[in-house]
Amino acid sequence: MGADATRLAYLVTIVTFILALRFLSSPAHARRGNQIGAVGMLLAIVVTFSQKSVLSYWEIAAGMVVGGGFGAVAARKVKMTAMPQMVALFNGVGGGAAALISLAEFHRMAPAAGSLPRDISISIILSALIGSVSFSGSMIAFAKLQELIQGRPITYPGQKAVNGLVFASCLAAGAVIVAGHEAQWLLWAIIAAASLFGIMFVLPIGGADMPVVISLLNAFTGLAAAATGFELQNTVLIVAGMLVGASGTLLTLMMGKAMNRSITNVLFGAFGQVSAGAASTAAGGTGAVRPTTADDVAVMLAYAQKVAIVPGYGMAVAQAQHDVRTLADLLESRGVEVTYAIHPVAGRMPGHMNVLLAEANVPYPALKEMDEANAEFPRTDVSLVIGANDVVNPDARSNSGSPIYGMPILNVDQSKAVVVLKRSMNPGFAGIDNPLFLEPNTMMLFGDAKESVGKLTAAVKAL
Q: Which of 390, 395, 413, 433 is catalytic?
A: 390
Q: Are 310 and 275 in contact (CB under 8 A)?
A: no
Q: What is the 3-state secondary structure (H, E, C) of the chain?
A: CCHHHHHHHHHHHHHHHHHHHHHHCCHHHHHHHHHHHHHHHHHHHHHHHCCCCCCCHHHHHHHHHHHHHHHHHHHHHCCHHHHHHHHHHHHHHHHHHHHHHHHHHHHHHCCCCCCCCHHHHHHHHHHHHHHHHHHHHHHHHHHHHCCCCCCCCCCCCCHHHHHHHHHHHHHHHHHHHHCCCCCHHHHHHHHHHHHHHHHHHHCCCCHHHHHHHHHHHHHHHHHHHHHHHHHHCCHHHHHHHHHHHHHHHHHHHHHHHHCCCCHHHHHHCCCCCCCHHHHHHHCCCCCCCCECCHHHHHHHHHCCCEEEEEECHHHHHHCCHHHHHHHHHHHHHCCCEEEEECCCCCCCCCCHHHHHHHHCCCCHHHEECHHHHHHHHHHCCEEEEECCCHHHCCHHHHCCCCCCCCCCCCCHHHCCEEEEEECCCCCCCCCCCCHHHHCCCEEEEECCHHHHHHHHHHHHHHC
Q: Is 371 a catalytic residue?
A: no
Residues carrying an active site annotation: 390
